[in-house]
Chains A and B, each alone.
Chain A
């Protein structure tokens, strides 16, 4: 009962007026002096009484609906089984490019669109996992806490092919993603799924901090590397011309390998890499996680309006069948 609330409780002040309806039923009707000679009809009287109560219930419904009842927001305990995956997604302007490295006008070809397609399939196949989402470009944006709400996760993933802007700044994004696991019991495998098209140089201090944080929370790192043909493959790097400025991806890969947590990279131009990523997550051992999900408050007035409609239709019918006048009015 305490879960119910009213958004405009002042409307309830009008409710006592509906009681008057039971006592004083509206129109007086046509004047007729010989009422005593009308045939006695108990059924009519009963139906008339019913009509009054119906009108009362109808008005009460409307007033209650105007008062705007709602079910308060509720925390629902959920049991999540499966891995805890933080999707960490690159939203920098380079994600707008297509895989040939050019900005094409067609948003369907962009890397972010490819990432979206990839992640949708991933999310679709990992039904029992909990997902969180962090997007980053120059600065990270916290999008979704860990949840099993498929609708929210899908919506979040579907929104990542919007136009990205800014530069690729991975370190704050990773830190925010790691923040997601802080102060939570370890009940499932922790995975940070990094989706990015390139790397940046991370300075030494930050590298240390990230390494430390990864060890603290015990998360795995999977990097889905959206590579365009002209950039290097981190799995099969060329033997020469490797430097921090021209091929930061490779050095990032090297750094990730030194994190001390399980790490894998998947190159997205390889169609089997997604299946491999899913397989990898599948093999992780998970325990159930109890967590609370907040359900937004629900407006209940629509139900009352519907009830009012149902109650009002017989009244309309009655009104249509009512005879208004018997004798012509006095001039």
Chain B
């Protein structure tokens, strides 16, 4: 089971004790300030020095921030475009790693899989899933990948927990940037980590020369193109440009995207979180 470490640059609000820095007062180690014993603070934390120097002679008690849980939610794009090559397996692997890491960190985990239609194809509400990392990949392998997924406009917030949470957005992001922008705007209350699943094959045509009839699995649009070495390099440039555009847009809404190309390395994701919360 793969595991990575994630951190958040903001304070959790939950009262449940957990692993992340929190806004809630409680039994932690992070000094928050002093309070009068009369306010009902915990007498075990009476600060003698502060009490002596208090001009009003009141007993001063140290207050602390506790560490809390952060809800971890995954929005996965189960659209038809995700069936390419071993992308479904890659998606299941990343999802399992997130679920397992959330469990190991002690955070509740939720999963929303969007295929076609108004409602999510798979919806696991937020809870402490001990076995999610095991059962979710199996459930995903039974799921037919179809429809437009995240490309259709859908009120995602109805299916997410209202509390601010760490949201992993798993998709190939093969939809217009304007659509991604509205998606990110709607997810503004949350801390969104865009995970871009790509295969390097996507910009490497199978042959240097030849006619290649293609169809878009989501829109059904067809096109036959004469492939030559120039087409391959143009495609590679297009993907590089797309990468820059995605990075720029997602950074404006919080975090830069994490690219999973061909294979998933959990330690790379750990480093991503380390860099983002330095």
Contacts and interface: CB of A to CB of B under 8 A. Distances in A.
Interface of A: 25, 27-35, 37-39, 41, 43-45, 47-48, 51, 318, 321-323, 325-328, 330
B206 A325 contact: yes
A30 B212 CA distance: 8
A325 B211 CA distance: 11
Given A30-B214, A326-B201, A38 B235 contact: yes
B85 A328 contact: yes
B226 A322 contact: no
B225 A322 contact: no
Nearest to B228: A41
Interface in B194-242: 199, 201-202, 205-207, 209-218, 221-227, 230-231, 234-235, 238-239, 242
B132 to A, nearest CB: 24
Given A34-B174, A44-B224, A322 B239 contact: no
B213 A38 contact: no
13 contacts: A28-B222, A30-B212, A33-B172, A33-B217, A37-B239, A39-B235, A44-B224, A47-B226, A321-B209, A321-B210, A325-B206, A326-B201, A327-B85
Given A31-B215, A38-B238, A322-B212, 5 more contacts: A31-B81, A32-B216, A39-B235, A44-B226, A323-B227
Given A47-B226, A323-B205, A330-B88, A28 B239 contact: no
A328 B238 CA distance: 22
Contacts of B210: 321-323
Contact of A330 (B83, B211, B221, B227): B83
A126 to B, nearest CB: 65
B261 interface: no
Which 7 residue pairs of A and B lie closest in terms of their CB atoms, listed nearest first? Answer: A29-B213, A33-B81, A37-B238, A33-B174, A39-B234, A48-B224, A327-B85
B84 interface: yes
Interface in B126-151: none
A223 to B, nearest CB: 78
Interface of B: 80-81, 83-86, 88, 172, 174, 199, 201-202, 205-207, 209-218, 221-227, 230-231, 234-235, 238-239, 242
Per DSSP, chain B at the interface is mixed
A325 B210 CA distance: 12
Contact of B213 (A27, A37, A43): A27
A327 B201 contact: yes
Contact of A323 (B85, B207, B238): B207
B212 A35 contact: no
A212 B222 CA distance: 87
Contacts, number: 106
Nearest to A38: B225
A326 B222 contact: no
B224 A29 contact: yes
Nearest to B242: A37
A41 B216 contact: no
Contacts of A47: 226
A45 B224 CA distance: 7
A33 B218 contact: yes
A323 B209 CA distance: 9
B76 to A, nearest CB: 16
Nearest to B202: A34
B235 A29 contact: no
B215 A28 contact: yes
A289 B154 CA distance: 92
A37 B88 contact: no
Contacts of A32: 84, 202, 214-217
Given A33-B84, A327-B201, A322 B223 contact: no
A25 B84 CA distance: 23
Contacts of B81: 31, 33
A28 B235 contact: no
Contacts of A35: 214-216, 221, 223
A321 B222 CA distance: 18
B84 A41 contact: no
A259 B138 CA distance: 113
Contacts of B231: 38-39, 41
A326 B80 CA distance: 16
Contacts of B226: 41, 43-44, 47
Contact of A326 (B86, B205, B223, B234): B205
Given A29-B222, A39-B234, A327 B199 contact: yes
Contacts of A34: 174, 202, 238-239, 242
A44 B83 contact: no
Nearest to B218: A33
B174 to A, nearest CB: 4
B211 A318 contact: yes
Residue among A28, A323, A328 having the largest count of chain B Cβ atoms under 10 Å: A323
Contacts of B209: 321
Contacts of A321: 209-211
A29 B215 contact: yes
Contacts of B174: 33-34
A325 B205 CA distance: 10
A51 to B, nearest CB: 8
Contacts of A328: 85-86
A31 B215 CA distance: 5
